Chains A and B, each alone.
Chain A
Amino acid sequence: MMDSISFLRVIKIGFVNFWRNFWLSAAATIVMTVTLVIFSSLFTVFILTNYSIHTIQNTVDISVYFKIGLADDQITKIKDDIAHDPRIKEIDYVSAEQAFDNFKAAHQNDPLITESLNELTQNPLPATLHIKTYNLSDYPGVAQNLESDQYKSFIDKVNFEDNRVVIERLNTILKFVVTFGLALVAIFALIAILVIYNTITLTIYNRKEEVEIMRLVGATNWYIRGPFLMESLLYSIFSTIITAALFVPVYYKVLPKVVAYINPQLNIYSNSLFHFGYLVLILFVLALLLSVISSMLAIRKYLKT
């Protein structure tokens, strides 16, 4: 294996190669940066859209209002009956008393309402079920089923807010963005690989004599290859830094606002921070992959040992 002196020398030669062909290195870094920027945009849009869908999806449910005065055991029976439907994810039962208490608690600071409630001899609120399904597309079917004759005599009203159209539209957009984005990333990744491959090939060509002499005087394979790998590693490091720098304002200024608009209750800042760390990590891994693949291809082809 390589000792520390050789290791440091390899790193140093890598840097020297990078600066000697500055414009070639810059071109390779820029192409890689473009790839990473496209990828980051895709990543960001994906997270945002996904997040919106998730938020909206959570607001969708079916509310079933029972007729007033229906006995508890009857309600439980219907509930258990409905629960057999495999499409249903969860059923939340709110009894008439609970609904009343909730209402009272919600308005306890309003003397007028409290007073009026005290006047009541009978609970005016119905018992309700809140139903969520696994799939968005199941809501209409489940709602329809509840409206069938079987339940008609017990159920006053089935309420179902149809956000499905919005969600489906978002899903379509998301699918399109991901497909189109991935294709774009793939194309630019290919361009980046080709450009880096060419750059490394040129560097190898420029240092042909040196490489030949190195081999003859007994340099190890890694000592010869290391600097070229190092050079391509520098492309990935620089392009990751540039891309991350470009996306700092997006993640720390723009995104919190957008997410706050979608769902004001969430702690956005910590969330984007988390995403940003992830993004940088993924970017670096992607960049590393691209540079290692392309430089290894060039090295294998032109540095036969």
Chain B
Amino acid sequence: MIKFENVVKQYQDNKALDGVNLQVHHGEFISLVGLSGAGKTTLFKLIIGEEQIDGGKILIDDIDISQVRKSDLPYLRRKIGIVFQDMKLLPRRTAFENVAFAMEVCGHNADKIQSEVPKILELVGLLHKRDSFPEEMSGGEKQRVAIARALSHRPVLLLADEPTGNLDEVNAAEVLDLLLKINQLGTTVILATHASDLVNKINKRVVTIEDGKITLQQEKGRYKL
């Protein structure tokens, strides 16, 4: 599904990614582990086309994304959901509106939004919070709203960048369970994290990245640095 071939990304004189080779298959759940600054976020930014690569190739379903025209990038992004540590929810909008916002932006009509958003909120277990504002929700709930928003286009790939970084253990576990559930429903998930206890619990493929290089790949791995 995604193939990184010798990918290099350079910020001034700092090599963020240095010859990364990685292959992600449909339906996989990958934990991408490494210290902050190791290159995890850069990897995600390259996948959604927010940054350009300086060397190598990234193929998504055999499409070379450096060949994708700028004006077509939005359509690529609609195939990929992304969530962040800081959630990036709109504070003045309810859970429902935050998810609806993503659908509005992509040109879905009001009827479709009205029927789809509750389904997605139910999937993440937050239908009862549909009219709550972000400040009225716990960290875990907020992150689940962010995941719901990322799922609103029915993406084939979900990128989660430190989604549990700001959460306590209980909330983190909730979010992780949700990601696993989404993966079971068929969406490929890449989880970037440095929370070793979470990774150890997942028991799926682990990719370790250090100083812009992949140093370890384990099929059913544990967090190791």
Please provide the chain A residues from 25 to 72 with a CB less than 8 Å away from any CB of chain B in the complex: none
Asked if B109 CB lies within 8 Å of chain A CBs, one says yes
Asked if A120 CB lies within 8 Å of chain B CBs, one says no
Contacts of B106 in A (CB 8 A): 217-219
Asked if A110 CB lies within 8 Å of chain B CBs, one says no
Interface locus among A85-93, A166-174, A208-216: A208-216
B70 touches A305 (CB 8 A): yes
* B-contact 0/1 string along A210-238, CB 8 Å cutoff: 10111111111101000000000000000
Please provide the chain A residues from 1 to 17 with a CB less than 8 Å away from any CB of chain B in the complex: 2-3, 5-6, 9
B90 touches A217 (CB 8 A): no
Contacts of B102 in A (CB 8 A): 213, 217
Asked if B14 CB lies within 8 Å of chain A CBs, one says no
7 new A-B contacts, CB < 8 A, other than A5-B109, A223-B105, A223-B107, are: A9-B104, A213-B102, A216-B48, A217-B77, A218-B106, A218-B153, A219-B105
CB distance from A186 to the nearest CB of B (A): 36
Asked if B101 CB lies within 8 Å of chain A CBs, one says yes
* A-contact 0/1 string along B93-129, CB 8 Å cutoff: 0000000011011111100000000000000000000
B88 touches A216 (CB 8 A): yes
Asked if B67 CB lies within 8 Å of chain A CBs, one says no
Contacts A213-B101, A213-B102, A305-B70 known; A218 to B77 CB distance under 8 Å?
Answer: yes
CB distance from B47 to the nearest CB of A (A): 12
B71 touches A217 (CB 8 A): no
A210 touches B77 (CB 8 A): no
Contacts of A5 in B (CB 8 A): 107-109
How many residues on chain B are close to A (CB under 8 Å)? Answer: 24
Contacts A5-B107, A209-B90, A223-B105 known; A218 to B78 CB distance under 8 Å?
Answer: yes
Can you report 28 A-B residue pairs in the complex whose CB atoms are below 8 A from each other?
A6-B107, A9-B104, A209-B88, A209-B90, A210-B90, A213-B88, A213-B101, A213-B102, A215-B50, A215-B74, A215-B77, A216-B82, A216-B88, A217-B77, A217-B152, A217-B153, A218-B75, A218-B78, A218-B153, A219-B74, A219-B105, A220-B71, A220-B74, A221-B70, A221-B71, A221-B74, A223-B105, A305-B70
Residues of B within 8 A of A (CB): 48, 50, 70-71, 74-78, 82, 88, 90, 101-102, 104-109, 149-150, 152-153
CB distance from A199 to the nearest CB of B (A): 21
Contacts A217-B78, A218-B75, A220-B71 known; A212 to B104 CB distance under 8 Å?
Answer: no
Contacts of A305 in B (CB 8 A): 70
CB distance from A117 to the nearest CB of B (A): 87
Taken together as a complex, chains A and B put the C-alpha atoms of A223 and B77 apart, in Å, by: 14
CB distance from A230 to the nearest CB of B (A): 16
Taken together as a complex, chains A and B put the C-alpha atoms of A215 and B109 apart, in Å, by: 19
CB distance from A211 to the nearest CB of B (A): 10
CB distance from A268 to the nearest CB of B (A): 53
Taken together as a complex, chains A and B put the C-alpha atoms of A223 and B106 apart, in Å, by: 9
CB distance from B153 to the nearest CB of A (A): 7
Residue of B whose beta carbon sits closest to that of A6: B107
B77 touches A216 (CB 8 A): yes
Residues of A within 8 A of B (CB): 2-3, 5-6, 9, 209-210, 212-221, 223, 305
CB distance from A300 to the nearest CB of B (A): 14
CB distance from A140 to the nearest CB of B (A): 67
Residue of A whose beta carbon sits closest to that of B149: A217
Taken together as a complex, chains A and B put the C-alpha atoms of A11 and B108 apart, in Å, by: 16
Contacts of B48 in A (CB 8 A): 216
Contacts of A220 in B (CB 8 A): 71, 74
Contacts of A6 in B (CB 8 A): 107
Contacts of B105 in A (CB 8 A): 214, 217-219, 223
B90 touches A213 (CB 8 A): yes
Contacts of B71 in A (CB 8 A): 220-221
Contacts of A209 in B (CB 8 A): 88, 90
The 3 closest A-B pairs by CB, nearest first: A218-B77, A218-B78, A217-B102
Residue of B whose beta carbon sits closest to that of A213: B88
Residue of A whose beta carbon sits closest to that of B79: A218
Residue of A whose beta carbon sits closest to that of B109: A5
Taken together as a complex, chains A and B put the C-alpha atoms of A29 and B48 apart, in Å, by: 39
Residue of B whose beta carbon sits closest to that of A223: B105
CB distance from B175 to the nearest CB of A (A): 18
Taken together as a complex, chains A and B put the C-alpha atoms of A220 and B78 apart, in Å, by: 10
**CB contact between B107 and one of A3, A210, A214 (< 8 Å): that residue:** A3
A218 touches B90 (CB 8 A): no
